Chain A
């Protein structure tokens, strides 16, 4: 059966209802991840085999509390349910995943979806947690009260009830059952009809009652924009319709939940029994969310996370390093007859990409631990703890999610600022997001820690340095946000509502699968860019290749043994290469930070994308050592690097102050072309993007210089 002919089933539900766990259980690993057209909301779909053997396409929609869509995620859900996503028809069955411990609130979304007239299955998940709290749910009675809509009680995490979901969806596809629609008070029904009529007249298209309800109840213009009803055209009819509702004694924004909840309480009468006992979650939260112990626990968890990353990655990193060395030696020995190609492959491609790949184990372990923290429910607590800090510096409570996303990558962080309604708060958050230490900075931190801090001070101080680099961005972001929000943009504070999920044991298969997806994404995207750039950097570092340079060096040192002489010749070639000349001419700018011309080249090459630094250093240091000296890895080469001129001649380039200065420079500098362009797009002006670029780069230089100069005096 072709994919288009397959039935389409969507999973919808509030956040933290175990929707993704159910999706994984129903689809196994047969999943596809993409984007919805026009937005950056991820589209997760997979093939699910039902109880009758029929295969359907299962789509996991983003979590939401209500159809009153504001954020891009919520808009996608509404569009998907209405069949308004490009090249996608409306779903054949909607599976509403509900949290068994909070069925009333979860069914509110089901009641709203019912207005769209879609066949439905109610999947009451997390029954294990409900039972632990002493809650009992009568599934058959609930199904009876919902006009025969299939109700499945399950625990997706434990794998209980999955077969029943497959059976219920198969039944729903053949015997379409609809959640009973609510009977609206006359005033609302009339107001909805008024809005529908006006919208149809202005847009020249049919506007069903479900859409008209959203136009009447929602303050966000999502649906109006989707149907092309302009602000001028809709202003009067919607205002008049809301007046109609108000004149009947109902408040338009509150009317919808009031009517739905009143009826849902009747439906759930006798369905949900027992007491909702306090559980261990509350006891654990009394410590993890404590005003003093909470931030302390957060710091300890982060420290433990990075310590584990370093400790566990050591062995696989050594294996990869051996593999890279072997490949380099193999390539070098088999390409002796073509010296240019030999250098390109061994020093350029293997040296550059290998330097990046060596840090892959650390990236994988980091993604693994972040996945464990997310699935255990701790990340939401981290959001709560950090919100105190952000609200103090004047940022909107909703700023936390973009800022947290910024730790993975600034781009989704910037895009998720769209969920912030206040434009000034959105701008302040967008300006602050690039300060968060994204994963592209991780390889340079890891290289510096592994090469200089770990060997000298041990794994504990490696972890401290790593946490420090992630904190330094925050430390600078807080006063920046404070000044922006208080004095420049004058943002008004807004409340932040966050649901804290229960703690639960992460499911190994889900965590490992997500780690794999994230790592694949990172390597395939960043890796391909690095691969291509290594060719360019190699060429700029290799050419021009004037034989006179080698002759001059050989003439200057006639007594030197051939191995050392060859290394000196290669170093001379690199120094007079295009990259070398450029690096040397710009180096005086970075001299106060303690950067030599090779580091300067690395810093400059990283402005389009900061992850390029490690591969660039891999090439410049590898080439500088001579084509034969390929057994030395980058870390060893950097440890041996010395100043060749000036007052610091013959002293090591990489001292602790230089290492810290370089890390701080990367922690604060705006080195990502995509981020700058996205900031311009989100802020609606290149001025803000330029301000962010110069502000961050200047701050990075000042901090790096201060660290190097003060550190050099003290150490």
Chain B
């Protein structure tokens, strides 16, 4: 072989090296994205579970003092009971939104009862659940952002070729529903403030 042939082989080798690097990088990037998406979902799940655990305490704290607002409390209890961590993401998102809406309605109703609102245990439970609601909203945003990046990546070239080979599928968003944008209905319940 002539020196020029060696140089040509060097050039081909370099091109192959760069192509292999790009393929391995794309594969590793998708795996990392899957891991980040799973972690983002797990972090939402932790917050959902914490809210699930906190809600009975809040309902118990206000139940005796809100005798005329049983409908509001029942709605919170019903939404909480629908929590099912093994369900697909969209179903959990729907339940989460219903729970958030019921909690917002409960908080709005509590505003009409100064005695209840000023009770120390109610105030602290309310603050904790509001904190969890904020965390859930932030982490939902993070999860959806991560899913967006993952879905975009596996549809882009050349990763889409790897996606078809390895069977990578787009993930579901933790999608906000219309209920998330509806103002809480504070007229629920027929009673007057105690």
Q: Do A and B come from one complex?
A: no
Seen from chain A, the residues whose Cβ lies within 8 Å of a Cβ on chain B are none
